[in-house]
């Protein structure tokens, strides 16, 4: 989905808009600068003066006129004060009051039933697993995919696999490093297929990067859980390769995986994960799951949930299945009813949250390195550990940690189990 965000008013409104932008991107959606081609319009309104109220009303009407087919979501002070807003101005699909603002992304996607299917969530500029920033650069190592997963439009749109040369990639990483970037995230459509067309492999590429660059952190973005050689995890013995992988499972039931035309059965997935956890200290695994794929029976869903629970993930990107024209899955009979898909997604969200909680609890007391990224107005720094746990550290305001990597100990979990607090 394309999301267009607009705000009026104070700095706080602007900050909220930024966090919604990240939230929508993390859920697999992209942002658009123009209201005309958006699927969802979100307005953060203001009511500080009569003029602000007038401007808020004008803005709502204007975007609605520009793009009457888009879903319109209004939040902010004006929408919280005017209880009749939805009746007064036609075309508003959803009003989200200030007290619900922190959950605006989830409420919007849930109420408007528009969680998106996975795209290439790993590409620069696209919805991303990872926060972009001055400290982290995305290095596209290849494009295209030779597979034909039945839900995936990317493979149709992107064509065959094309890999960049080692030299191109090394030069790009070194250039970013010279500019002060501390972490390179290797991305692509099918990262595991790297090198197939140029007589190389992902294993060889990472070996070369470790040898020919000095950037302190190298990270893998989303990697399909197949096409990896047996010795792949030995690469992580070099602690510049970060111990985290996003391995999209999509379903924990073999029949569903077959209908999806995935190349990895649940047993293969388990073996891969067991090997990674055995060989790499504090290895973190995150995944994607599609809820309500065509034909998914109660039993298949039950199997899937059990497998996911047994495997354990620190984070799951959950996608409620939606038809995408041009894919084989869109033509399959037996599409799952909307209310069933929604219920499954809700069930999985609950499980994902409790697994995240367990995962973070297990990290308390452990020591990690953190790349510090941003500081808020209270001088609390935010960064990510090597295994990609978001952490916060309270500091005196004189200390500048930006872009530094330091060792920390995790002391506790905060804010509804979303991240951890650390000490140095």
Binding site for ligand SF4 (CB under 6 A): 145, 147-149, 152, 154-155, 189-190, 224
CB of 196 to ligand SF4, least distance (A): 13
CB of 52 to ligand SF4, least distance (A): 46
* Contact of 23 with 10, CB cutoff 8 Å: no
In terms of Cα–Cα distance, which of 328, 265, 336, 329 is closest to 298? 336
Of residues 189 and 391, the one with the C-beta less far from ligand SF4: 189
β-partners of residue 285 are 245
CB of 177 to ligand SF4, least distance (A): 29
3-state secondary structure 7-55: ECCCHHHHHHHHHHHHHHHHCCCEECCCCCCCCEEEEEECCCCHHHHHH
CA–CA gap between residue 169 and residue 42 (Å, rounded) = 38
CB of 352 to ligand SF4, least distance (A): 20
Of residues 147 and 419, the one with the C-beta less far from ligand SF4: 147
CA–CA gap between residue 383 and residue 405 (Å, rounded) = 9
CA–CA gap between residue 5 and residue 101 (Å, rounded) = 14
In terms of Cα–Cα distance, which of 251, 225, 269 is closest to 336? 251
Of residues 169 and 189, the one with the C-beta less far from ligand SF4: 189
CA–CA gap between residue 92 and residue 85 (Å, rounded) = 8
CB of 112 to ligand SF4, least distance (A): 25
CA–CA gap between residue 57 and residue 63 (Å, rounded) = 10
Of residues 76 and 192, the one with the C-beta less far from ligand SF4: 192
Of residues 152 and 242, the one with the C-beta less far from ligand SF4: 152
CB of 193 to ligand SF4, least distance (A): 8
Of residues 190 and 341, the one with the C-beta less far from ligand SF4: 190
């Amino acid at each position: 989905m394309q999301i267009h965000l607009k705000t009026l008013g104070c700095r706080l409104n602007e900050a909220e808009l930024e966090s919604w932008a990240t939230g929508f991107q993390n859920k697999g959606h992209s942002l658009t600068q123009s209201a005309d081609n958006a699927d969802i319009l979100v307005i953060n309104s203001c009511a500080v003066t009569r003029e602000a109220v007038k401007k808020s009303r004008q803005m709502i009407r204007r975007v609605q006129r520009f793009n009457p087919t888009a879903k319109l979501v209004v939040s902010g002070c004006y929408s919280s004060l005017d209880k009749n807003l939805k009746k007064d101005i036609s075309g508003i699909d959803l009003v989200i009051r200030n007290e619900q603002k922190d959950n605006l992304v989830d409420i919007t996607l849930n109420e408007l039933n528009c969680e998106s299917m996975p795209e290439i969530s790993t590409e620069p500029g696209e919805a991303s697993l990872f926060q972009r920033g001055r400290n982290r650069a995305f290095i596209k190592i290849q494009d295209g995919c030779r597979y034909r997963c039945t839900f995936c439009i990317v493979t149709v749109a992107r064509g065959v696999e094309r890999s960049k040369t080692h030299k191109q990639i090394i030069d790009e990483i070194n250039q970013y490093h010279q500019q002060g970037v501390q972490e390179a995230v290797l991305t692509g459509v099918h990262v595991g297929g790297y090198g197939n067309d140029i007589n190389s492999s992902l294993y060889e590429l990472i070996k070369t990067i470790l040898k020919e660059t000095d950037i302190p952190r190298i990270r893998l973005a989303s990697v399909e859980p197949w096409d990896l050689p047996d010795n792949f995890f030995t690469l992580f013995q070099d602690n510049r390769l970060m111990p985290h992988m996003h391995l999209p499972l999509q379903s924990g039931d073999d029949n569903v995986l077959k209908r999806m035309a995935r190349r990895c059965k649940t047993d293969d997935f388990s073996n891969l994960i067991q090997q990674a956890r055995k060989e790499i200290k504090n290895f973190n695994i995150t995944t994607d799951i599609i809820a309500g794929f065509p034909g998914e029976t109660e039993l298949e869903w039950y199997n899937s949930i059990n497998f996911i629970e047994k495997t354990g993930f620190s984070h799951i990107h959950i996608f409620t299945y939606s038809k995408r024209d041009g894919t084989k899955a869109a033509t399959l009979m037996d599409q799952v009813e909307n209310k069933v898909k929604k219920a499954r997604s809700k069930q999985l969200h609950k499980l994902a949250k409790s697994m995240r909680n367990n995962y973070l609890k297990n990290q308390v007391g452990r020591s990690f390195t953190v790349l510090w990224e941003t500081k808020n107005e209270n001088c609390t720094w935010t960064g990510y550990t090597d295994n990609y746990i978001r952490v916060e550290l309270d500091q005196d305001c004189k200390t500048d940690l930006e872009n530094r990597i330091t060792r920390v100990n995790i002391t506790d979990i905060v804010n509804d189990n979303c991240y951890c607090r650390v000490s140095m």
